[in-house]
Amino acid sequence: MKDSLVFSDLDGSLLRHDDYHFEEANYILKLLHDNHTPLILITSKTFAEVQLLQKKLSIKCPFIVENGAGIFIPSDSDIASEIQTEEAFVKISTAQSYLELRLFFKQLQQKYSIRGFGDMLVEEVMELTSLSQESALNAMKRDFTEPFVIQGDVDMKAFIKEVKQEGLDVVKGGRFYHLISQNQDKAIAMKHLTHLYEEYYLRKLKVIALGDSENDFTMLQAADVGILIPKYDGSYAEIADEKIIKAPFAGPKGWNRALKDIFHV
């Protein structure tokens, strides 16, 4: 366990889909903490959202936001020890800015029936996500990506072609589509952060990844152990890879059980 890194998606994985609770995962959360095994959150959520969640989870590890677009490493962590900075976090990202994405998104809206977070009032985000007002406001503090919904018939093939021509991409999460820079997916960010850990500790580490949605597939396939969590209705996202382990339950209950099996505890 001490030679492992655990990368975890949040919504529908470590957090329950309906109320975002994680108490059913407390056993493994404590085990990881006691064994100093890094739990690296890798999510479509924003920097502001993850900061608050890490306090609730009592962890202080690097984390990856907005579907791999940004890596944030606490400046007092081991792997940042060679850097002298007054900032609380070291940020790693080559993604386009949120402003650049929003300007292009407005162009897309002239052709396609789509609506992004930047078009919504906080009340609408609250309704779509079941978040509190404070949490919804944090979800709207975007740095790199734009979550959006499709409101009519959209030719997705033409839509994605146009997006890729702009150097961007589209990934599908549990609740939203996300407009994101190309080569900024979860697997790439996971590999980058794993490399930093292995360079620091001078040894190979076992990478375990957990997620429930299509935007987790590359991460699960790239990990040494990939665990697919079922959706809240019990169904599994379709991934054509027999190596992927399927957790028996949805949300934190399945998350906890799958890791208990992996660690033989």
CA distance 85 to 91: 11
- Is residue 75 within 8 A of residue 88, CB to CB? The reply is yes
Of 9, 143, 169, 212, catalytic: 9
> Quick check: is 9 catalytic?
yes
CA distance 224 to 229: 16
- Is residue 185 within 8 A of residue 67, CB to CB? The reply is yes
CA torsion, points 62, 92, 168, 186, in degrees to nearest 10? Answer: -30
| C-alpha distances out from residue 19 to 70, 231, 254, Å | 26, 14, 16
- Is residue 244 within 8 A of residue 214, CB to CB? The reply is no
- Is residue 203 within 8 A of residue 91, CB to CB? The reply is no
| C-alpha distances out from residue 253 to 9, 58, 246, Å | 14, 19, 13
Rg (CA), the chain: 18
The catalytic site residues sit at 9
